[in-house]
Amino acid sequence: MSDKKPRLSLTANKMPEDVYRILAEKGDTRRLTPYVVSLVEKERMMDTLIMNLSKVVYKIDDLEETINEMKEQLQGSSNSSPKRESDEKVVQGSIGVSENIDGGIEEEIEEVDF
């Protein structure tokens, strides 16, 4: 049993002239086989990259959709929040007094005799 592989042949009249020149040059310098092997390996790698890239694009689209939904929810919740009295505009010349006290200062006042 022999491990010899049969030779492959290319049909030169079915390829562009510039491609033929490159392959002929590689063949003359006995670098055609490693060149073709590297092309096939690169093509396989590119196919894998393209397949993975399409998965990444799908995930990015899904992420954008999620972000847009979150923005809509945030805008919806900020629009529907009840107004506080302090959010209302005060007309010039009027004094607004609120029943609700939001904060205050408590301090002890010492009586000083001068």
Per-residue pLDDT tens digits for 49-61? 999 999 999 999 9
Would residue 73 count as lying in a domain?
Answer: yes
Q: How far apart are CA 94 and CA 90, in angstroms?
A: 7
- More confident call, 84 vs 18: 18
How many domains does the chain contain in total?
Answer: 1
Contacts of 20 by beta carbon, 8 Å cutoff, 6+ apart: 12
Instruction: Say if residue 81's pLDDT is above 60.
Output: no
**19-28, 32-41, 71-80: least confidently modelled range:** 71-80
Would residue 114 count as lying in a domain?
Answer: no
Q: What's the confidence (pLDDT) of residue 83?
A: 56
- More confident call, 7 vs 48: 48
Angle at 23 between CA 22 and CA 25, to 5 degrees: 65
The helix/strand/coil state of 110 is coil
Q: What's the confidence (pLDDT) of residue 12?
A: 87
Would residue 99 count as lying in a domain?
Answer: no
Segments forming the whole domain that contains residue 35: 12-79
Would residue 112 count as lying in a domain?
Answer: no
Q: How far apart are CA 38 and CA 91, in angstroms?
A: 79
Q: What's the confidence (pLDDT) of residue 37?
A: 94
Would residue 35 count as lying in a domain?
Answer: yes
The answer to pTM > 0.85 is no
Would residue 28 count as lying in a domain?
Answer: yes
Would residue 100 count as lying in a domain?
Answer: no
